[in-house]
Chain A
Amino acid sequence: SQQGEEDPQALSIQEGENATMNCSYKTSINNLQWYRQNSGRGLVHLILIRSNEREKHSGRLRVTLDTSKKSSSLLITASRAADTASYFCATDAWTQGGSEKLVFGKGTKLTVNP
């Protein structure tokens, strides 16, 4: 089944550095979303990019989408310790019943060291 796969699985950086996470998927999509999950908590939506968009910004976040390569990247600039979390990409897919659903990857665990 279609699934976003994040890369790397884990990333450790120092405060102030930039963090880049990548997501690859298998089939065409309508949109791709990025979510953050702090340890033991629910997910928080970060940004949604549609298939006809190539780049989107939100604060210190920059998301790119390359539909020809079926990949997306999430860049967090000037990282802070509070950015420590797992980051998931989610793509739209189809259930066996023919309805649309979100499919999540396994996530990138980001650690920002003070």
Chain B
Amino acid sequence: DGGITQSPKYLFRKEGQNVTLSCEQNLNHDAMYWYRQDPGQGLRLIYYSQIVNDFQKGDIAEGYSVSREKKESFPLTVTSAQKNPTAFYLCASSPTGPGVGYNEQFFGPGTRLTVL
């Protein structure tokens, strides 16, 4: 899991509530990413950030929001607008952002979100 931490490991949410998932890295990486994984599926990109104070929508950004106020932190908020939020959420970072010479990504241990 490298130098990336995610908290909490398990999260339960009632319908209609917003919840925020934490992601912190001490690898001094510029780029950070949020993915969603559903059972038996691959990863789908929610949001990514190449530098502080900048972030871009991925393939499934609707119902999610992010911020990147610090290089080390990239929290994800799952809003009540996300209709099917129950999933496994993975945060990742890489030394540089997308572009030529794309690098490997380092993943956190994940947060399993369940909507009750």
Contact of A95 among B56, B109, B112 (CB under 8 A): B56
Contact B110 A97 (CB under 8 A): no
Contact of A102 among B6, B105, B108 (CB under 8 A): B105
Bound Cα distance A65, B97 (Å): 24
With contacts A95-B58, A101-B98 known, is A42 near B1, CB below 8 A?
yes
Q: Is residue B57 within 8 Å, beta carbon to beta carbon, of the partner chain?
A: yes
Contact B90 A106 (CB under 8 A): no
Which residue of chain A has its CB nearest to the CB of B106?
A: A45
B89-110 contacts to A (CB < 8 Å): 90, 92, 97-100, 102, 104-110
Interface size class of B (residues with CB under 8 A): 20 to 34
Bound Cα distance A106, B45 (Å): 13
Contact A101 B90 (CB under 8 A): no
Interface size class of A (residues with CB under 8 A): 20 to 34
Question: How far does the Cβ of B61 sit from chain A's closest Cβ, in whole Å?
Answer: 10
Contact B106 A41 (CB under 8 A): no
Q: Is residue B17 within 8 Å, beta carbon to beta carbon, of the partner chain?
A: no
B49-100 contacts to A (CB < 8 Å): 50, 56-59, 88, 90, 92, 97-100
Bound Cα distance A105, B37 (Å): 11
20 additional A-B residue pairs with CB within 8 Å, beyond A42-B6, A107-B42: A1-B59, A3-B42, A30-B102, A40-B110, A42-B90, A43-B92, A45-B105, A92-B98, A92-B102, A95-B57, A95-B58, A97-B56, A97-B57, A99-B56, A100-B102, A101-B45, A101-B48, A104-B42, A105-B42, A106-B40
Interface of A toward B, CB cutoff 8 Å: 1, 3, 30-31, 33, 35, 40-45, 48, 88, 92, 95, 97, 99-102, 104-107
